[in-house]
Amino acid sequence: VSVRDEGPARRVADLGGLVETTLERALADSRVEGLDELGSRRLIEAMRYSLCTPGKRLRPLLLLTSAEAIGVEPRELVPFAIGVEMMHAYSLIHDDLPAMDDDELRRGQPTNHVVYGDGMAILAGDGLLTEAFIAMLEPLEVDGRPLAARLQMRVVAEIGRAAGHAGMVGGQAADLLAEGMAPEEGLVQSIHRRKTGALIRASVRAGALLASAAAEELAALDVFASHFGLAFQIADDVKDEVAPPEVTGKHRGGDREASKITYPALFGLDGSRERCRTELDQAIASLSSFGPAAAALELLAHDSVAPAFADHGA
Ligand code: IPE
Ligand code: IPE
Ligand code: MG
Ligand code: MG
Ligand code: MG
């Protein structure tokens, strides 16, 4: 079956459905049955609460559609891709904690710590981060053949690096330390590239690497991901100011209340949208050599920043 004969929207929806069912199963295995309160039952409930509430599943979908751009059928990579979503889910739980952004709404529901308490939310994040590595180390097949373990180890290490102090966690630390500072372009861009861009970039690169992309293909996808990762967090900043909870599933205006260093704080809404658009255009331009194989990846990129440009009646 060619990966190119279905419309990209349909491909994204199909892959999203597969990600969803695999996430549902991930923590629902039999070991959980019969656990009592002082076993891990409440912890696993808290982990599932944040993992299984409907999100965009952007990072696993980027991984899968990046592999598709290389010409590999991406379904076999879903068990790996959900590991990246687990890592993302953990980062959201911790991001919302009172000691961090202190948010009470996420994906249209009370945040993890509001439901389970701070201690359990911290542990649910720890549990998901750990589980992410287990998921990514599951033996994989690509086009029906076992994937080389060394290649897979390299990709897991890349994701780990992107999620750690040199990437997401480092960006989150800088985001906290910069609260209340005067916004400056180099700083805000560095924070955004690390706290959000790094995991997005690693997801795209992972799909390409697992699909054994050639060096030029990997380089082009890397350029795409680097621009898109920044565009995505600029769009997130804009949505924080303009989009209501019905659209974002999050409380509006939290960045301003917490004196966060954001693009709108520095460039205003229109200036931020302009920069978001420029980054997105550069991202999409770098996909040109892939032709229709990258249509799903391009669609994902467009759709995920679009709400920052919509009229929310504000
Ligand atoms: C929100 O990510 C946090 C950021 C890194 C900007 P998403 O916008 O991908 O959130 P979900 O997964 O769809 O809820
Ligand atoms: C969060 O950035 C980045 C990570 C969770 C790594 P934000 O704090 O802007 O994300 P939201 O707006 O709460 O989703
Ligand atoms: Mg934050
Ligand atoms: Mg936040
Ligand atoms: Mg935000």
Q: What is the pLDDT of residues 198-226, one digit of tens each?
A: 999 999 999 999 999 999 999 999 999 99
> What value does the mean pLDDT take over residues 52-67?
96
Is residue 179 scored above 80 in pLDDT?
Answer: yes
Ligand 1 atom 4: residue of nearest CA? 196
Please tell me the distance between residue 72's alpha carbon and the centre of ligand 1 in angstroms: 26
pTM for the whole structure: 0.96
Task: Tell me the backbone φ, ψ of residue 251, rounded to 5 degrees.
Answer: -65, 135
Per DSSP, the three-state class of 141 is: strand
Ligand 2 atom 12: residue of nearest CA? 236
- For residue 146, the cross-strand partners are 141
Please tell me the distance between residue 92's alpha carbon and the centre of ligand 3 in angstroms: 8
Pick from 310, 285, 309, 304: nearest CA to 232: 304
User: CB of 107 closer than 6 A to ligand 1?
Assistant: yes
Is residue 239 scored above 60 in pLDDT?
Answer: yes
What pLDDT does residue 38 have?
73
What pLDDT does residue 103 have?
97
What pLDDT does residue 30 have?
44
What pLDDT does residue 82 have?
98
Is residue 313 scored above 50 in pLDDT?
Answer: yes
Q: What is the pLDDT of residues 93-109, one digit of tens each?
A: 999 999 999 999 999 99
What pLDDT does residue 29 have?
61
pLDDT tier at 173, thresholds 50, 70, 90: very high
In angstroms, rounded to a whole number, what is the distance separating the alpha carbons of residues 91 and 171?
11
What pLDDT does residue 27 have?
83
Best probe residue, ligand 1, of 88, 169, 203 (max atoms within 8 Å of C-beta): 88
Is residue 274 scored above 60 in pLDDT?
Answer: yes
Tokens of 137: 């180390």
Q: Are strands 105-106 and 109-110 parallel, antiparallel or unpaired?
A: antiparallel
Ligand 1 atom 14: residue of nearest CA? 55
Is residue 5 scored above 70 in pLDDT?
Answer: no
Percent of the chain surpassing pLDDT 90: 90
What pLDDT does residue 234 have?
98
Is residue 47 scored above 70 in pLDDT?
Answer: yes
In angstroms, rounded to a whole number, what is the distance separating the alpha carbons of residues 167 and 192?
10
In angstroms, rounded to a whole number, what is the distance separating the alpha carbons of residues 224 and 178?
28
Is residue 305 scored above 50 in pLDDT?
Answer: yes
What pLDDT does residue 1 have?
44
> What value does the mean pLDDT take over residues 103-120?
97
What pLDDT does residue 81 have?
98
Is residue 190 scored above 80 in pLDDT?
Answer: yes
User: CB of 56 closer than 6 A to ligand 1?
Assistant: yes
What pLDDT does residue 134 have?
96
Instruction: Please check whether residue 191 is in contact with residue 171, taking contact to mean a CB–CB distance below 8 angstroms.
Output: yes
In angstroms, rounded to a whole number, what is the distance separating the alpha carbons of residues 56 and 116?
23
Percent of the chain surpassing pLDDT 70: 95
